[in-house]
Structure 1
Amino acid sequence: MATFNENFNSHLEFWIGPKDPRVRGWLLLDNYLPTFALTVLYLLIVWVGPKYMKNRPPFSCRGLLLIYNVGLTLLSLYMFWELASAAWHGSYNLYCQNTHSAPEADIKVMKALWWYYFSKLIEFMDTFFFILRKNNHQITFLHIYHHATMFNIWWFVVNWIPCGHSFFGATINSFVHIVMYLYYGLSSIPAMRPYLWWKKYLTQLQLVQFLLTVVQSSSAVIWPCGFPIRWTCFQISYMFTLIILFTNFYFQDLRRRRVCKVTHYMSAYVHAHTLHVSYSEDVRLKSTRPLR
């Protein structure tokens, strides 16, 4: 196994270039095999899980969901603060920032980005909760694609470009996840659900972050600073796949909500009309009933 990992790493470094030595020895980073194996296991559970739960009652998981979502809210808050403060104190350039010009800030960003990578493994639990609660309609191609790819992409990012221009996407995504997991945590408390009016804005917020990331990544191509442009081009391409998929999801959800609203109004109208007809018929029968 050690020989396989060495050969595989040699091939990666031949094609991509040498890894950043500053992250050598960090948990899960030395070899790609654990990240790949965990992703395959995730996809296997996604495939087998709904079949296993098909004839079984759904689990509530309310308490676990609350703990999980609060935990991820706090982790996202920590990552956002660490990344934003490091970029601020290190005088990071929003247009383009290389990976070696702010040593202290770079180390802080690296540590935060490792947690960001690891958080993508934790977020596999999103799907597992859907399976346990039998919310299979939420296990879409978009959901699986996003979760599986992010965990793998960030293994490469943290190994090769663990600071500098890489900070922006993770920073803004951590902010979005603060809002998102806070919403999910509150929605697991039934008494709070009527007050969560901002659910419909979550997808819009995600689309805004993708567009901002595209703009910020493009600036590093237009005004280069030594940050690898091919990584930036890959990020822009990946962001466009998410923009397409999330936009499609947004309009499908919008269409579904409009259909539900029309159906609700029609049902209310039919119900009111039925009551009116029944009442009128009852009055007519009473008026024609012979007196005794």
Structure 2
Amino acid sequence: MVVPSGQVFQSFPPLRPLTGGHQGILFLGKYRTQVTHEHLHAEEEESSYTRLFLSSGWDTYFSSLTNVADIYRTRTKKTETSDSRVRGWFMLDSYLPTFFLTVLYLLSIWLGNKYMKNRHALSLRGILTLYNLGITLLSLYMLAELLLSSWEGGYNLQCQDLTSAGEADVRVAKVLWWYYFSKSIEFLDTIFFVLRKKTSQITFLHVYHHASMFNIWWCVLNWIPCGQSFFGPTLNSFIHILMYSYYGLSVFPSMHKYLWWKKYLTQAQLVQFVLTITHTMSAVVKPCGFPLGCLIFQSSYMLTLVILFLNFYAQTYRKKPVKENTEEPPAGKEVKNGFSKAYVTAANGVINKKAQ
């Protein structure tokens, strides 16, 4: 007969001081009980409980261990996934998948560049077209769904808590899971750069942004999967519609003349970061129960992106001083329309003029 450990501890009467005889020591959690043969015959009531305990001692001991293990597993599961609404969702119950995918991403960049060093760059035009189209459509879905679900839940733009919107909060969390998962898909941005040998585009900003976002959003989905968290992904989904449309068009050389708006796309990204910081800090000024530490962390992280993107913008788009060439053409050279014959070349039957 197996006696549940709880029953033993609740019903076992207090033992009197022991007075010699053979003693057995049994440890069960923090409880320690000393039993003697002399004491077994002291009182009938006590002896009945004692005989029952000794006869089923090992069974009770293992039963108790099982109970402890169950409690440990329950508490561990609650710790790993703090918000019960996302418990059991793909890749959220454990951090290991997110961590290993990030490590694989970083290794792929390093090993991929070594592999492609003495090989020709790949075109990947068809794959890139489908990839950019897919990310654009996914971003469009997330934008629409975030707008509709936050509207349904009556979200407060200044500060929105984690529980007051009911089912709308769960709907927001489901979209944000896709947002988190899309960050793993976007690792392919860098892999395609590696295969096309576009190493100049694999900057610290690029790798930092991709690797950090995926890991940060694992934390967001586990602890703050809705409420105030909705705003940044809404803006980012809109920016990604523009950005991946640009990437998709840039695959085709004939479309390059229509892609004059890359500079403004970078400006839009900077505006997105500033608006996200403003929205986040508004919940600090007027709290609504959203975790303060998360707000401070998000604002700090967005500030690092602002700094890095400003540096990128300055290096990429600032106007470099144009050096005027004051040298006169060599004597005896015929000059037409300000160009000497030495600077007029023919290529593929088309006359091209190269400025001095």
Question: Does the TM-score normalized on the shorter chain lie above 0.5?
Answer: yes
2:252 is matched with 189
Which structure: greater strand fraction? 2
Q: Which runs of 4+ in 1 moved over 3 A?
A: 9-13, 273-277, 280-283
1:173 is matched with 236
Match of residue 316, structure 2, among 243, 248, 253? 253
Match of residue 218, structure 1, among 281, 284, 292? 281
Match of residue 58, structure 1, among 121, 133, 139? 121
1:278 equivalent to 2:338? Answer no
In the alignment, residue 76 of structure 1 is paired with which amino acid? Answer: S
1:32 equivalent to 2:95? Answer yes
1:12-55 Cα shifts (integer Å, max 9, x gaps): 93xxx961111111111110001000000101111111111110
Point out which structure has higher relative CO (alpha carbons under 8 A, 6+ apart).
Answer: 1
Length-normalised TM-score, structure 2: 0.70
Match runs of 1:1-292 below 5 Å: 10=76, 13=79, 19-255=82-318, 258-259=319-320, 262=322, 274=329, 278-280=333-335
Q: Alignment length, in residue pairs?
A: 267
Shift of 1:107: 1.4
- What is the DSSP-based 3-state SS (H/G/I as helix, E as strand, rest coil) of the residue aligned with 1:92? coil
Length-normalised TM-score, structure 1: 0.85
In the alignment, residue 278 of structure 1 is paired with which amino acid? Answer: K
Change (3 A) 1:133 1:274: farther
Shift of 1:104: 2.1
In 1, distance between residues paired with 2:141 and 2:331? 59
RMSD, aligned α-carbons: 2.6
Q: What stretches of structure 2 of length at least 5 have no aligned partner?
A: 1-68, 342-356
Which structure has the larger Rg? 2
In 2, distance between residues paired with 1:280 and 1:230? 71
- What is the DSSP-based 3-state SS (H/G/I as helix, E as strand, rest coil) of the residue aligned with 1:197? coil
Change (3 A) 1:134 1:225: same
1:138-163 Cα shifts (integer Å, max 9, x gaps): 00100000000000000000111110
Shift of 1:175: 0.6
In 2, distance between residues paired with 1:151 and 1:275? 61
- What is the DSSP-based 3-state SS (H/G/I as helix, E as strand, rest coil) of the residue aligned with 2:232? helix
In 2, distance between residues paired with 1:12 and 1:132? 42
Which structure: greater helix fraction? 1
In 2, distance between residues paired with 1:83 and 1:10? 31
In 1, distance between residues paired with 2:171 and 2:77? 29
In the alignment, residue 149 of structure 1 is paired with which amino acid? Answer: S
In 1, distance between residues paired with 2:331 and 2:288? 74
Q: Percent identity?
A: 60
Shift of 1:278: 2.4
